[in-house]
Amino acid sequence: MRRWDRLVDAYMDEYRARGTCEATVAHTAARLARWGSWMKSRRPRPAIEAIDAELLTRYLEHSSHFRAKTTVYGTLSTMRGFGDYLAREGYWQQNPLRWMKGPKVTPYNRLPRRIDRVHMDALWQAAAQTQGEFSRTLWVTVLALLYGTGLRRGELERLDLEAFDRNKATLRIDGRKTGRERCVPVSDLVYRCLEAYAPARHNVLERTGRLGERALLVTRRGERVSAQAISNAIHIFARRAGVPLVTVHQFRHSCASDLLEAGVHLAEVQRMLGHQGIATTVRYAHVADPARRAAIACHPINDFLQAEVMAA
């Protein structure tokens, strides 16, 4: 197993060369490190070539205790990818992980969790009370982008300054997640937030000597705001405001649900969010469906109750 670490490093170099974001690379490397630690703790310690289906099954059972189905499936997917690499490099004759099935994960078995209006207002108030003029402007702009455009966390992190077209009031979103770039229009509020943030950003970069920085969102040190920093800030705002657990992705859910509730066509919401298939967008119709609410308002029970009230 002495070669394990070298092989993992070589695989991660290949994995990183695909254009995968650093957060995903780090997560994958951590999974492989846990697998390697478990293998190295076996006695007698197995050689890489001696790893068989039985040993793989034992590790999957070990790593599945008290884990969600999605976590188990993710672990299996990471192991399968590394197994393909070992087969390509000639360490395995075949990859037995190809025939191992993980738990059935249905991405549509739960309704998306949106943030209601009261909690959304509380989060904005918490962001507006951040100490420091630049930090306050930055995080209000981040919330405006998350809720106003439905961006994913990684897409927000990777936004560069040139992605914002001031004349057309649009943002160009990279296609790393979907394989296709998309252009998202911004509302007046989001536009005003970006316009207020732009000079503050320039002043920070000038002060830190980093005027060449391409990132749209930068820290007080003039560095690109990381995805983890965005998540940490959202959790801080939620705790300050006394709002139940809020994740960055809930802003995306809220954006889609509220647009549908406002009467925006399903296909337009699909294009804005960058969903490859409309089936993904349809989930939000179960959360916000004005047509369904209008239909239930026509239910005969309403007339019955009104007649009962009048009789009383």
| pLDDT tens-place string over residues 191-208 | 999 999 999 999 999 999
Percent of the residues in the chain that have a pLDDT greater than 70, as a whole number: 87
Residue 89 near residue 7 (C-beta atoms within 8 A):
yes
Catalytic entry in 119, 152, 153, 201: 152
Concerning whether 275 is annotated as a catalytic residue, the answer is yes
What is the reported pLDDT for 294?
A: 55
Does some domain include residue 312? Answer: no
Cβ atoms of 161 and 199 within 8 Å: the answer is: no
Active site residue 119: no
**251 and 140 fall within a common domain:** yes
Q: What is the mean pLDDT of residues 125-148?
A: 95
Single out the catalytic residue among 34, 40, 240, 275. 275
Q: Please report whether residue 300 resides in a domain.
A: no
On whether both 171 and 245 belong to a single domain, the answer is yes
146-173 pLDDT, tens digit each: 999 999 999 999 999 999 999 999 999 9
Is 40 a residue of the active site?
A: no
Whether 276 and 164 map to the same domain: the answer is yes
The one catalytic residue among 80, 176, 249, 283: 249
CATH code assigned at 264: 1.10.443.10
Orientation angle between helical segments 248-261 and 133-149, nearest 10 degrees: 50
- Please report the pLDDT score of residue 156 as a whole number: 95
pLDDT at 7 over 70: yes
Shared domain check, 124 and 262: yes
Catalytic residue among 31, 119, 252, 253: 252
Q: What is the pLDDT of residue 108?
A: 54
Give all strands (DSSP E) within the chain, no chain letters: 164-165, 170-173, 182-185
Between 127 and 266, where is the model more confident?
Answer: 127
Is 63 contained in some domain? yes
Q: Which domain holds residue 167?
A: 117-292
- Band (303; pLDDT cuts 50, 70, 90): low
Nearest of 245, 289, 254, 244 to residue 148 by alpha carbon: 254
Residue 200 lies in a domain: yes
Tally of domains within the chain: 2
pTM above 0.75, yes or no: no
- Domain C-terminal end among 70, 99, 128: 99
Is 107 within a domain?
no
Q: Is the pLDDT of residue 297 over 60?
A: no
**Are 65 and 144 within one domain?**
no
* pLDDT score for 141: 96
More confident of the two residues 284 and 94: 94
Rg (CA), the chain: 24
123 Cβ contact list (under 8 Å, min separation 6) = 115, 143, 234, 237, 238, 241, 243, 246
Please report, for residues 150, 157, 206, the alpha-carbon distance to residue 274 in angstroms, rounded to integers and kept in the order given: 9, 16, 35
Q: Which of 136, 177, 224, 283 is catalytic?
A: 177
- Nearest Cα neighbor of 181 from 213, 157, 159 is 159
For residue 215, which phi and psi values (nearest 5 degrees)? -60, 140
152 catalytic? Reply is yes
We report the CATH number of the domain holding residue 41 as 1.10.150.130
Q: Which of 2-6, 232-236, 308-312 has the lowest mean pLDDT?
A: 308-312
Active site residue 16: no
| Judgement on whether residues 203 and 95 belong to the same structural domain of the protein | no
